[in-house]
Amino acid sequence: MQAEQENIWASAESHSHAPNTSNQEQASTQENVVGLGKEEVKKALKPSGLDKLRIEGGAVLKGEIPISGAKNAALKIMCATLLTDQPVTLTNMPVTLNDIKTLAQLLKHIGVSVLARHDKTAVLHARTIETPVAPYDLVRKMRGSILVLGPLLARHGFAEVSLPGGCAIGARPVDFHIKGLEAMGAKILIEDGYIKATTEGGLKGATYTFPKVSHTGTENLMMAATLAKGTTILKNAAREPEVTNLADCLRQMGANITGDGTDTITIEGVESLHGATHAVMPDRIETATWMIGAALTNGSLRLKNANLDHLTALVAPLEKTGVQIEADGNDILVSRSGEKLIGTDIMTDPYPGFPTDIQAQFLTMLTLCEGAGMVTETIFENRFMHVPELCRMGADITIQGNSAIVRGVEKLKGAEVMATDLRASASLVLAALVAEGTTTINRIYHLDRGYEDIVGKLGNVGAKIERV
Ligand code: EPZ
């Protein structure tokens, strides 16, 4: 019972004050708890900065993997709770991910009471905004923190958010977020590494055309526009399913949004938003990672609580490579149809194109295909850091500009490798699963940012994997 009442995010450091848990929230902790057990949660929350993964290659993945709620939907939806003074309940939350815990910490710093339960439900209550500031230390840990800017400005009229700066996969500026908010009447100053934003008399509806499709840019402006006066039209908007999942939550909260899922989103501002209950969509990138895992290891997996509709850009090249994919209700069944996988080309593009977040994993699969395949990255300028590590395991890859030419080899060999970013790390795990011998992956804190219980999930389907 003690475990059931535990707030999984209680350890999120509070900078300003203790969480202010309402009666409703306290009552909800006593509901029937299913999902992660106490030990699993403890393991998942354990500081893992120095941990390594040791994987013995050669296992064939067979069985079921439950897919977690999507990190890249949950993060934005958590920020959306800043738009109302009422509690918002979120289900299917990937509560143990490090990025989610970092954001919970930031929201707590701002004044939000945050509660996460073992049944993957979270209750966030932004009764008041106490400190509309996102400090460098937290933004540095997780770039997604920039998503508090739009909601804080819309609700509070003032926000200070540290500039995220570049990261391993590229420079990743946030100028579209800033220009879009300026178009809505915000006054923005960049000072001492911070974006300092204010509004006089609130944000006003505007039309903003993104110079280039931006996933979080679209989300930040869409959230800000919900409380602006008048109509906002976002053109050349991102069409990712996570944008639609966020729009669904905002609509539940009383927002008036149409056109999400297309490149033009229209938001009619409303006076205020209210509490709601909303389910986070399944993680399409985690799903894709294990689909490729089944193909690579010649295994067969049932991926539970997933959505194949979000992965059409992956299905075509996977089938071309020789993989069988079938939807069965909310599950996806994946297995390999032939002896050998066959090389094919992919090019990343904004949704509905091939996701940049699956590029590294797909590239790993190509290393063992018959023939060759070309991978072209068009979203981020520095997203081939997995390539030298894969080459150390015996892969044959040549980089030319923003393309990687992958020539299939007979086998990969276990080695000591270094994880460099989240998806690059996932690609190394996949490589290790099929490599001959043992692979040790260093710096796996990247994986803990975006994959829940990776050791448990892969271990359950036959992988020989341990955290050391
Ligand atoms: C989101 O990043 C995801 N992050 C990324 O997931 C994902 O790789 C990316 O979208 C593309 O799908 C979250 O959802 C938290 P963008 P985001 O703005 O929104 C340029 C993962 O592994 N740009 O769509 O930051 C930018 O440099 C991660 O989970 C500007 O020039 O990406 C890039 O070249 C990594 N100015 C392109 O646009 C801006 O103001 C697309 O970036 C904004 C973006």
Q: Could you tell me if 316 and 459 lie in one domain?
A: yes
Q: 235-261: string of b/e by CB count within 10 Å (b at 16+)?
A: ebbbbbbbbbbbbbbbbbbbbebebbb
Q: Give start and end residues of each alpha helix (H) in 195-328.
A: 215-225, 241-252, 284-296, 312-321
How far is residue 241's CA from residue 228's CA, in Å, rounded to a whole number? Answer: 24
Q: 196-226: string of b/e by CB count within 10 Å (b at 16+)?
A: ebebeebbbbbebebeebbbbbbbbbbbbbb
Q: Could you tell me if 259 and 297 lie in one domain?
A: no
Cβ count near 400 (within 10 Å)? 9
Cβ count near 154 (within 10 Å)? 25
Q: Could you tell me if 36 and 148 lie in one domain?
A: no
Q: Parallel, antiparallel, or unpaired for β 403-407 and 416-418?
A: unpaired
CA 24 to centroid of chain Cα atoms? 29
How far is residue 303's CA from residue 328's CA, in Å, rounded to a whole number? Answer: 10
How far is residue 167's CA from residue 284's CA, in Å, rounded to a whole number? Answer: 23
Q: What is the pLDDT of residue 228?
A: 98
Comparing CA positions, the residue from 378, 335, 340 lying closest to residue 359 is 378
Tell me which residue has its CA closest to atom 35 in ligand 1: 357
β partners of residue 190: 195
Average pLDDT by stretches of 10, the chain with 468 residues: 66 41 33 38 49 95 98 98 98 96 96 96 98 93 94 97 82 93 97 95 97 98 98 98 98 98 98 98 98 97 98 97 96 90 97 98 98 97 94 97 97 94 96 98 91 97 96
Give the pTM. Answer: 0.92
Q: What is the pLDDT of residue 5?
A: 57
Question: 167, 249, 369, 391: which one is catalytic?
Answer: 167
- Strands (E) in 119-184, as ranges, are 122-125, 133-134, 158-162
How far is residue 289's CA from residue 362's CA, in Å, rounded to a whole number? Answer: 8
Tell me which residue has its CA closest to atom 16 in ligand 1: 214
The DSSP 8-state label assigned to residue 67 in this structure reads P
Cα of 171 vs centre of ligand 1, distance in Å, is: 10
Read off the amino acid at residue 386.
H
Q: Parallel, antiparallel, or unpaired for β 53-56 and 464-467?
A: antiparallel
State whether residue 100 is helix, strand or coil. Answer: helix
How far is residue 58's CA from residue 434's CA, in Å, rounded to a whole number? Answer: 5
Structure tokens at 34: 């299913």
Atom number, ligand 1, closest to the C-alpha of residue 172:
27
Q: Could you tell me if 274 and 393 lie in one domain?
A: no
Q: Give start and end residues of each alpha helix (H) in 157-232.
A: 175-183, 215-225
Q: Domain with 153 in it: what CATH number?
A: 3.65.10.10
Cα of 244 vs centre of ligand 1, distance in Å, is: 16
Q: Give start and end residues of each alpha helix (H) in 226-330.
A: 241-252, 284-296, 312-321
Cα of 70 vs centre of ligand 1, distance in Å, is: 16
Q: Could you tell me if 171 and 150 lie in one domain?
A: yes
Q: Could you tell me if 306 and 181 lie in one domain?
A: no
Q: What is the pLDDT of residue 50?
A: 59
Question: Position of tokens 């590590």?
Answer: 389
Q: Note down the domain range covering 327.
A: 53-67+282-467
How far is residue 273's CA from residue 334's CA, in Å, rounded to a whole number? Answer: 41
The residues near 314 (Cβ < 8 Å, ≥ 6 apart) are 288, 291, 354, 355, 358, 362
Task: Answer yes or no: is the C-beta of 214 below 6 A from any ligand 1 atom.
Answer: yes
User: Do 174 and 147 touch, CB atoms closer than 8 A?
Assistant: no
Q: Could you tell me if 350 and 369 lie in one domain?
A: yes
Q: How many CA atoms within 13 Å lie on the side-chain side of 445? A: 11
Q: Could you tell me if 376 and 421 lie in one domain?
A: yes
How far is residue 413's CA from residue 387's CA, in Å, rounded to a whole number? Answer: 14
Cα of 209 vs centre of ligand 1, distance in Å, is: 16
Q: Could you tell me if 26 and 59 lie in one domain?
A: no
Mutate to test the pocket of ligand 1, among 214, 221, 351 (most ligand atoms within 8 A of CB): 214
Helix/strand/coil (H, E, C) string of 247-272?
HHHHHHCCCEEECECECEEEEECCCC
Active-site annotation holds for 391: no
The residues near 297 (Cβ < 8 Å, ≥ 6 apart) are 59, 60, 61, 433, 434
Comparing CA positions, the residue from 384, 425, 385, 415 lying closest to residue 402 is 384
User: Do 343 and 370 touch, CB atoms closer than 8 A?
Assistant: yes
Q: Could you tell me if 36 and 101 lie in one domain?
A: no
Q: What is the pLDDT of residue 338?
A: 73
Question: Position of tokens 């940012």?
Answer: 449
Task: Answer yes or no: is the C-beta of 220 below 6 A from any ligand 1 atom.
Answer: no
Q: Could you tell me if 230 and 312 lie in one domain?
A: no
Question: Position of tokens 């992988």?
Answer: 463
Task: Answer yes or no: is the C-beta of 357 below 6 A from any ligand 1 atom.
Answer: yes
The domain total for the chain is: 3
Task: Answer yes or no: is the C-beta of 449 below 6 A from any ligand 1 atom.
Answer: no
User: Do 138 and 109 touch, CB atoms closer than 8 A?
Assistant: yes
Task: Answer yes or no: is the C-beta of 284 below 6 A from any ligand 1 atom.
Answer: no
Cα of 63 vs centre of ligand 1, distance in Å, is: 33
Q: Could you tell me if 290 and 354 lie in one domain?
A: yes
Q: What is the pLDDT of residue 51?
A: 85
Tell me which residue has its CA closest to atom 25 in ligand 1: 216
Question: Position of tokens 């975006």?
Answer: 450
User: Do 103 and 132 touch, CB atoms closer than 8 A?
Assistant: no
Q: What are phi and psi of 431, to 5 degrees?
A: -60, -40
